[in-house]
């Protein structure tokens, strides 16, 4: 992975937008091969996953639907509270659908393993997970990820949907936050 050390206060450019674009495009190819005839329901995880979802679906040239779900596990700042709940559920019927969860990052895996169990209980025809970034160093539960964009080290990242206390989601690149 290309690492650039351009500095923006305490932010260091880590994944430039060109790399993100190429990664989204590669994932879209894999997802197209598996879902082109399945009219899948792509479930974006609010709020962080929506930037990735928005870019991903514009690379998918076949019928699909989208919905969003909001799961809360983190307080303000960088540490997980470890408690997960669904704050805002889906409007779509999940039963019998091919469901693909689309999320920005898997860290401890607590949020996503909770969410996958929650959705599995709604009897989808299939259920898979796509994350742009996988940060396996702090994994605390068994989480199977079907589509991984990039594997990243144990650093706090912001931009491209990822926030720190709601800031920086709008940055087009992904930055490492230090301090
Ligand atoms: P997990 O339950 O620890 O896997 O946490 C997943 C959620 O934590 C992600 O959806 C993000 O919202 C947030 N998160 C984890 N790592 C980072 C990071 O490096 N930057 C920003 N948010 C993060
Ligand atoms: Mg998130």
Which is nearest to 52 in space by CA: 89, 94, 93, 15? Answer: 15
Q: Answer whether 103 contacts ligand 1 (Cβ < 6 A).
A: yes
Q: What is the distance in A from the centroid of ligand 1 to the CA of 37? A: 32
If you measure from the C-alpha of residue 54 to the centroid of ligand 2, how many angstroms do you get, rounded to a whole number? 14
pLDDT in the model for residue 81? 61
Environment class of 90 (CB within 10 Å of its CB; exposed 0-12, middle 13-18, buried 19+): middle
Q: Which of 35, 86, 89 shows the shortest CA–CA distance to 65?
A: 35
**CA 169 to chain CA mean position, Å:** 13
Rg of the Cα atoms in the chain: 16
Which candidate in 55, 107, 134, 163 is catalytic?
A: 107
* Options 3.40.50.2020, 3.40.50.300, 3.20.20.70, 3.40.50.720; CATH of 7-177: 3.40.50.2020
Per the CB < 8 A criterion, the answer to whether 149 and 132 are in contact is yes
Sheet strands side by side (includes 174-177): 7-8, 11-15, 174-177, 157-158
Beta-strand relationship, 80-88 and 147-151: unpaired
pLDDT in tens, the chain (179 residues): 344 445 567 999 999 999 999 999 999 999 999 999 999 999 999 999 999 999 999 999 999 999 999 998 655 455 666 688 999 989 999 999 999 999 999 999 999 999 999 999 999 999 999 999 999 999 999 999 999 999 999 999 999 999 999 999 999 999 999 97
Instruction: Please check whether residue 160 is in contact with residue 176, taking contact to mean a CB–CB distance below 8 angstroms.
Output: no
DSSP string, 99-131: EEEEEEEESSSHHHHHHHHHHHTT--SEEEEEE
Q: Which atom, in ligand 1's list, is nearest to the CA of 114?
A: 2
Give yes or no for a contact between 40 and 54, defined as CB atoms under 8 angstroms apart: no
């Amino acid at each position: 992975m290309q690492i650039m050390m351009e500095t923006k206060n305490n932010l260091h450019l880590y994944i430039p937008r060109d790399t993100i674009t190429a990664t989204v495009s590669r994932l879209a190819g894999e997802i197209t091969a598996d879902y082109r005839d399945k009219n899948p329901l792509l479930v974006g995880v609010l709020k962080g996953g929506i930037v990735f979802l928005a870019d991903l679906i514009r690379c998918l040239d076949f019928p699909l639907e989208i919905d969003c779900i909001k799961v809360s596990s983190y307080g303000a700042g960088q540490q997980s509270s470890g408690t997960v709940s669904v704050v805002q559920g889906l409007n779509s019927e999940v039963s019998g659908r091919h469901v693909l969860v689309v999320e920005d990052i898997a860290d401890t895996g607590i949020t996503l393993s909770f969410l996958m169990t929650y959705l599995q209980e709604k009897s989808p025809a299939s259920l898979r997970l796509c994350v742009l970034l996988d940060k396996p160093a702090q994994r605390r539960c068994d989480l199977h990820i079907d589509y991984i964009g990039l594997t990243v080290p144990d650093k706090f990242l912001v931009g491209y949907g990822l926030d720190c206390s709601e800031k920086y989601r709008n940055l087009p690149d992904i930055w490492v936050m230090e301090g």
